[in-house]
Structure 1
Amino acid sequence: MQLMKPIPNLQLISLLYRSPAKDPAHQQHNQILTRLNNLEAGFYGEEQVAYQLRYLPKGKFKILHNIRLSYQNLHFQIDFLLLSPHFHLILEVKNIIGELDYDPVFQQLVWTKIDGTRMGLGNPISQAQLQKRQFTNWLKKYNLPIAPIYYLSVMSNPKTILKTSPNHQGISKLIIHKHSLLQRIENLLIGQTNESISKNDVTKIARKIKKKNEPLFLDVLSKYNFTKRDMQGGVQCLQCKTLPIPKKENRTIWNCPACGIVPHHSYESAITDFVLLYTRHFSNKELREFLGLTSASTVYKLLKKMDIQTVGRKHIFPVENIQKFAQKDFINE
């Protein structure tokens, strides 16, 4: 399955390209880049787990990734949700290098990093109970049928060492390595032979989740003390990253003077940068100023090519278009 990179990752990539923090000497550069690298490591771990899930029997599960739902004005996030008529399985993915030791006295995981430093990661048992309760309540809220719900914390990095005392081996039922995932799911299927809900119910639940999914958007400008004036507008060359590049007169084509490339779709990335940094709801004038254009009709044509919805005088940028048109990596020059 092909995963979509989370919105916060894409926002930080846009911020690094468009803000003064692109300069490695800027005081915020290392902070933003470190945060992005941590998010990218987490996403890489999820890709490793997704690779394992490819080997599940076809048609047995509906697999949803990076789900963020709301219940009683509080949000909860699920890395992977596997839906089936037999049961639902919540997967939390951790990409950790080092040693994890479960402390039953204080009920927490202790992470010893490769440099010897230690930190607590919370109680996986409590986390499992909380996520199961949150998802159950969400299903009840929409009068959706409920199947048994299970939870696993999956270590995506094979270098992670898992430890606990001999008297608390039960924690291994919740925390596993990715290479054990398929066997664990198979064991759940063996133990849950009867269908609790129908396949139509599973489809209905998956459809409702996709409809109610609320991807996380960060206010990256406020978080890192930038303003709109700090952002570099214009269209960026996707080949050499020159910003801005000029538009050819009377045409919706930009030409890069640095590398000579005519990047036909660079405007799509630029518009998506605007959305990631500012808002999904915007006027023609706001976008025109960001792109450095004077013609409202030119902006209208660009948005029409991207199939952007217009309501009144506002344009609404779909979340799925963000995933489609955003720059996926930051090249640290």
Structure 2
Amino acid sequence: MLSKPRTKPLVLKKEEALLLRLLRNHPKYHEIERDYSKRKAGYKGELNIDYYLTLLPKENYFILHDLRLPHGDHFFQIDTLLICTRFALLLEIKNYSGTIFFDQFTNQLIRTLNQKIEAFPCPLYQVKRQKLQLKQWLAGFGILNLPIEHLVVMSNSSSILQTNEGNEHIFKGIIHGWKLIPEIERIDQLRKPFKIAPQALEKVAESLLNAHTPENPDILKLFEIPAADIKIGVACPGCKSLPMKRIRGSWYCEICRLRSRDAHMKAINDYFLLFQTGLTNRELREYLHITSSHVASDILSQMNIPFTGKRRDRVYYSLGTY
């Protein structure tokens, strides 16, 4: 059945490029590094849960990962959505270590790790809000009564889950990843088939995919970083230092002496991730520290980067795949 695989978030790729090309003593470096670490941990946790979902019979479920859907003037994001003829299931995935306390009075998730206490919004409220938004979204397609279930899935199996005395019932909706498949099977047994043709359900899944809008912020604007602060040049694939030198058709690192024929590909990819603008031959030469316009043209041609204009007026644009 139709599915949407999980891919590395675009924001994560942009932050990786940004950290590579900022000086470590830059005033925003550690702020970006902290945000990157959180996003990377979240992505890793989602991948861990994806493994369990591969155990489900593919012919029974539409499995859509990492959906970002329009809702009025805003968007809402779903970590994973399962749809079948019996129900839809929203999964909100969290990757937290340590002791996790769900406080019923403050509606917060409180984590204790290495004697440090941090508070986060309760993911149960988050997934319930997503449930309401998805219900409204489906109503636009005439799907009014499809049961929508929700679960908060903790991907770190060693985390300890706690709550206030008498509030233990919340753990019906908060589970560790290893319990996910039995829980889906339990829900499946409880629900009767919904009166919708499989073809109509597939159209709903296709509509969800078509409406998906990846988050694509201007990363320099987001962190208020001037373009002049970005280190240019080709980064060494080995030691990450830059710039490499172009010598006889390949790139040479003066630090670790590594040679590469295609290290420029990541550098150009970084350019589009960070600047989100078109690229001219002259700008490429400045960015890669090369002098020959012919070499620059060959590089752009070999990468099959789309362009507009003719000859000197050409402007190259990202393929959008990053």
**Cα 1:288/1:177, change in 2 over 3 Å:** same
Query: SS where residue 278 of structure 2 aligns?
Result: strand
* Residue 152 (structure 1) shift: 0.9
Query: SS where residue 93 of structure 2 aligns?
Result: strand
Per-residue Cα deviation, 1:180-212 (whole angstroms, up to 9, x for no partner): 111111111112241443333343333333333
Residue 266 of structure 2 aligns with which residue? Answer: 269
Residue 93 of structure 1 aligns with which residue? Answer: 93
Residue 46 of structure 2 aligns with which residue? Answer: 46
Query: SS where residue 10 of structure 1 aligns?
Result: helix
Residue 284 of structure 1 aligns with which residue? Answer: 280
Amino acid corresponding to residue 238 of structure 2 in structure 1: Q
44-53 vs 214-223, which moves further: 214-223
Q: TM-score, normalised by structure 1?
A: 0.81
Amino acid corresponding to residue 262 of structure 2 in structure 1: H
- Residue 14 (structure 1) aligned to one of 17, 20, 23: 17
What pairs with 1:1-333 in structure 2 (closer than 5 Å)? 3-21=6-24, 25-106=25-106, 108-141=107-140, 143=141, 145=143, 147-248=146-247, 251=249, 253-279=250-276, 281-285=277-281, 286-293=283-290, 298-299=295-296, 301-310=298-307, 314-319=315-320, 321-322=321-322
Alpha-carbon separation, structure 1, partners of 2:273 and 2:58? 35
* Residue 234 (structure 1) shift: 1.9
Per-residue Cα deviation, 1:27-61 (whole angstroms, up to 9, x for no partner): 44333322222221111111111111121123222
Per-residue Cα deviation, 1:9-38 (whole angstroms, up to 9, x for no partner): 2212111111123xxx44443333222222
8 Å Cα contact 1:110/1:118 also seen in 2: no
**Cα 1:246/1:111, change in 2 over 3 Å:** same
Alpha-carbon separation, structure 1, partners of 2:293 and 2:90? 47
* Residue 78 (structure 1) shift: 1.2
**Cα 1:20/1:140, change in 2 over 3 Å:** same
Amino acid corresponding to residue 86 of structure 2 in structure 1: H
8 Å Cα contact 1:100/1:163 also seen in 2: yes
**Cα 1:215/1:302, change in 2 over 3 Å:** farther
**Cα 1:63/1:234, change in 2 over 3 Å:** same
170-179 vs 290-299, which moves further: 290-299
> What is the root-mean-square deviation of aligned Cα atoms in Å?
2.8
8 Å Cα contact 1:284/1:299 also seen in 2: no
8 Å Cα contact 2:49/2:177 also seen in 1: yes
8 Å Cα contact 1:284/1:300 also seen in 2: no
Alpha-carbon separation, structure 2, partners of 1:55 and 1:226? 44
Alpha-carbon separation, structure 1, partners of 2:143 and 2:303? 38
* Residue 162 (structure 1) shift: 1.6
**Cα 1:34/1:122, change in 2 over 3 Å:** closer
8 Å Cα contact 1:86/1:197 also seen in 2: no
Q: TM-score, normalised by structure 2?
A: 0.84
Residue identity (%): 30
Q: How many residues align?
A: 313
8 Å Cα contact 1:274/1:287 also seen in 2: no
8 Å Cα contact 1:87/1:196 also seen in 2: no
Gaps in structure 1 of 5+ consecutive residues: 323-333
Alpha-carbon separation, structure 2, partners of 1:168 and 1:233? 55
Alpha-carbon separation, structure 1, partners of 2:268 and 2:246? 14
Per-residue Cα deviation, 1:228-275 (whole angstroms, up to 9, x for no partner): 1111112222123231222345x5x43444444442332221111111
Query: SS where residue 254 of structure 1 aligns?
Result: strand
Gaps in structure 2 of 5+ consecutive residues: none
